[in-house]
A = this chain, B = another copy of it.
Amino acid sequence: MSAETDTIEITAYSWIPPFARGLVRDLRVRWTLEEIGLPYRTQLFDRRTEQGNSRIPEQPFGQVPAFRQGDVRMFETGAICLYLAERSDTLLPSDEVGRTRAMCWAFAALNSVEPAVMQLSVLNLFEADKPWAGERRPMVEGMVHDRLQHLSDALGERDWLEDRFTVGDLLMTTVLRNLKRTKLLDDYPNLAAYRARAEARPAFQRALEAQFADFIDDDQERMEA
């Protein structure tokens, strides 16, 4: 058994290209920890030197974040955030129906919405200068729009995907943030408001500040995050 009194340690980057700042996935874990009020410390890696190494300790896919508390060693933000959410009622309702719905949205964020968003990110980051990028874009944006339209319909006029903020909303917000350099959310005012509502939470703001504070050359880029 892990002792829940042991110090929580997560891995994060001390340097990563500016375009990725505020989007690195340790933000999900930091936000979760801020929401439930647990302190943590970070073990930092410089992305410039780690690329040659390709392996972050305790993370099979060579990425951040990993999570450690006592004997519990975890990777995958979905697993870490869900595990932490289980510790209190703050992010995961204790009743069976509410708990299972929050689990559904947590997986929906990472397995139904993020893969489509990731295809668009790959196009924008690695293929934008290809002569066929323009031909691919409608198909890729179409996949994202399909997911956003369904998500928008599911959200409707509510504040959150269920009747209160859960770990599902937390993860979904971080996925929608990956669209911030596109205009796709403009077509879904309720999703844009949903993302802004979540980002306005004090715990999110503290998590974002903390991620930027760990960059060795942090400067005005924080303002754009």
Contacts and interface: CB of A to CB of B under 8 A. Distances in A.
Interface of A: 1-2, 60-62, 71-79, 82-83, 95-97, 100-101, 103-104, 106-108, 110-112, 114-115, 118-119, 122, 126-127, 130-132, 135-136, 139, 143, 147, 150-151, 153-154
A60 B132 contact: no
B115 A100 contact: no
- In the A-B complex, list the 8 residue pairs whose CB atoms are closest, starting with the nearest: A76-B107, A78-B107, A115-B115, A60-B154, A79-B103, A132-B132, A110-B111, A79-B107
Contact of A82 (B101, B103, B136): B103
A111 B114 contact: yes
Contacts of A118: 115, 119
Q: Which of A75, A107, A126 has the most CB of B within 10 A?
A: A107
Contact of A71 (B1, B2, B96, B153): B96
A151 B75 CA distance: 13
Question: What number of copies of this chain does the assembly contain?
Answer: 2
A interface, over-half SS: helix
A108 B76 contact: yes
B108 A62 contact: no
A76 B122 contact: no
Nearest to A112: B61
A108 B2 contact: no
8 contacts: A60-B108, A74-B100, A76-B107, A77-B111, A78-B111, A79-B108, A82-B103, A83-B100
Contact of A97 (B72, B79, B111, B122): B72
B100 A72 contact: yes
Contacts of A73: 97, 100-101
Contacts of A154: 60
